[in-house]
Amino acid sequence: MTHATPPDLIPSSATFNLKPLLVANMASTMAMMAFVAIIGPIARQLHLPAWQAGAAITVGGVLWMLLSRPWGVASDRRGRRAVLLTGVGGFALSYWAMCAVLVLSLQTMPAATWVFVGLLVTRGAIGAFYAAIPATGQALVADFIAADRRAGAMASLGAANAVGVVIGPAMAAMLAQHSLSLPLYVTAILPVIAWLVLWKALPRQEHPVQSQPSSLHLHDVRLRRPMAVAFIAMFCVAIAQITVGFFAIDRLQLAPELAARAAGFALTAVGIGLIASQLLVRKLSWPPMRLIRTGAVVAAAGFGATATVDTTGLLAACYFVAAAGMGWIFPAFAALAANAVGSHEQGAAAGSVGAAQGLGIVLGPLVGTLLYGFGPGVPYLLVALMLMGVALWPSPASHKPVVAV
């Protein structure tokens, strides 16, 4: 049974330290993205078909989608610290197991089927435990940060993730020059660092937790907009990620090696755009809906223009503009969800939004590749139209959010 902490012992927003959460998010994302960067060469070395490498990544997204909400609800009942430490600890152990499977496979070269099974199980476990980190982290921010400052705090989390997105693949590429195993040894340390930082720094006194299951449902009208925006945002990003390499070959007329380089430049520009825009959000103090509308227009312009480009430089520039807009949307829908529910529902709300993001990650690549068959620019035009729909979606006249402080 969980006992409520007396209110005078609960850290206030003035004393709550966000930095440990930023470090943990960055370290975890670095590990995840480093693996994505090297799975292609490792799969080729181990004679794994490309679809098996893709399936291993997809299963993590599916489990993230399915488990984000249960993790969030668990944090409402058990407390943020306990669930975050469990999630990051499980993430670390699963990541170690995956690295062990790959290192041993590179040394012994077993049958590809066994490698695939091991990779599928361990990568799935990584996704399952990773789902706890964003859901519970966002709920923790909502516990201690006032409503008018939540978008800025969520943007700080997003910027930390974006730094991990940029540094993780770059570090993996540098280490892989020596051997494919070296990035696995080095990145296995990152989740451990994340767990130690959180264990040391997370508040041990928390807001009262729920002893009963949350009554917040996925179809709760208060979450309709933040969940829809979360799904569309991740759906659009997933389409842009999966199609950029093909676009560089077909539209820019580049050889596969040069196309991979062009795609790398574009995705690096995405990371820089996300970091810059989310740092700017911290300074603006705009309400979530203004951030969503403005960000959606900017992102739609970037993605729409992508459909017309014919040079590597313009491709990277358009992806930068699109990412700058998306960098305003991501923290805004998280803050919108947090501001719409009560303090006892924060974990369930963050988990529900995380589930919507996971669904976008799963469906985006499928829809994007199907639409690409109609022309290289078609997926980008769809993305631009969807984002303009987000920008133009009217707010209910009687909308009165429940602000949890």
> What is the rounded average pLDDT for all residues in the chain?
83
What DSSP state is assigned to residue 47? T
CATH H superfamily, domain 221-392: MFS general substrate transporter like domains (1.20.1250.20)
Report whether pLDDT(341) > 80: no
Let me know: does 203 contact 81? Beta carbons within 8 Å: yes
Half-sphere exposure of residue 87: CA atoms within 13 angstroms, side-chain side: 30
Q: What is the pLDDT of residue 150?
A: 78
How confident is the model over 138-164, as a mean pLDDT? 81
Residue 143 CB burial class (10 angstroms; 0-12, 13-18, ≥19): buried
Let me know: does 173 contact 288? Beta carbons within 8 Å: no
pTM of the model: 0.76
Q: What is the pLDDT of residue 213?
A: 52
Residue type at 379? P
> Distance (Å, rounded) from C-alpha 190 to C-alpha 92?
8
Let me know: does 262 contact 315? Beta carbons within 8 Å: yes
382 or 5, which is more confident: 382
Residue 277 CB burial class (10 angstroms; 0-12, 13-18, ≥19): buried
Report whether pLDDT(250) > 80: yes
How confident is the model over 269-288, as a mean pLDDT? 86
CB neighbours of 23 closer than 8 A, spacing ≥ 6?
A: 160, 193, 194, 197
Q: Is 214 left (phi over 0), alpha (psi -120 to 50) or beta?
A: beta
Q: What is the pLDDT of residue 210?
A: 53
Q: What is the pLDDT of residue 196?
A: 95
Classified by CATH at the fold level, domain 16-201 comes out as: Growth Hormone; Chain: A; (1.20.1250)
**pLDDT classification of 61: cutoffs 50, 70, 90:** confident
Report whether pLDDT(294) > 90: yes
Distances (CA, A) of 23 to 36, 86, 158, 272: 20, 17, 12, 18
DSSP secondary structure of 259-297: HHHHHHHHHHHHHHHHHHHHHHHHHH---HHHHHHHHHH
Q: List the domain boundaries for the chain.
A: 16-201, 221-392
Phi, psi of 13 (to 5 degrees): -65, -25
Report whether pLDDT(59) > 90: no
CB neighbours of 1 closer than 8 A, spacing ≥ 6?
A: 211
pLDDT digits (tens, 9 = 90+) for 369-392: 888 889 989 999 999 999 999 999
Q: What is the pLDDT of residue 236?
A: 92
Which of these, 134, 143, 132, 83, lies nearest to 345 by C-alpha position?
143
Which of these, 59, 183, 67, 31, lies nearest to 119 by C-alpha position?
59
**pLDDT classification of 403: cutoffs 50, 70, 90:** very low
> Distance (Å, rounded) from C-alpha 208 to C-alpha 19?
23
Report whether pLDDT(109) > 80: yes
Report whether pLDDT(5) > 50: no
Report whether pLDDT(400) > 70: no
Report whether pLDDT(278) > 80: yes
Report whether pLDDT(10) > 60: no
Residue type at 246? F
Report whether pLDDT(276) > 70: yes
**pLDDT classification of 2: cutoffs 50, 70, 90:** very low
Q: What is the pLDDT of residue 1?
A: 38
Q: What is the pLDDT of residue 142?
A: 80
Fold: same for 16-201 and 221-392: yes
pLDDT digits (tens, 9 = 90+) for 220-238: 678 888 889 999 998 998 8
Q: What is the pLDDT of residue 12?
A: 52
**Range in 222-226, 257-261, 304-308 with the lowest mean pLDDT:** 257-261
Could you tell me the two tokens for 402? 């429940």
305 or 202, which is more confident: 305
How far from chain centre, in Å, is Cα 290? 22
Distances (CA, A) of 227 to 63, 159, 384: 18, 21, 19
156 or 300, which is more confident: 300
Strands of 87-216, DSSP E: none
What share of the chain in percent tops pLDDT 70? 89
> Distance (Å, rounded) from C-alpha 104 to C-alpha 138?
37
Report whether pLDDT(398) > 60: no
How confident is the model over 74-80, as a mean pLDDT? 84
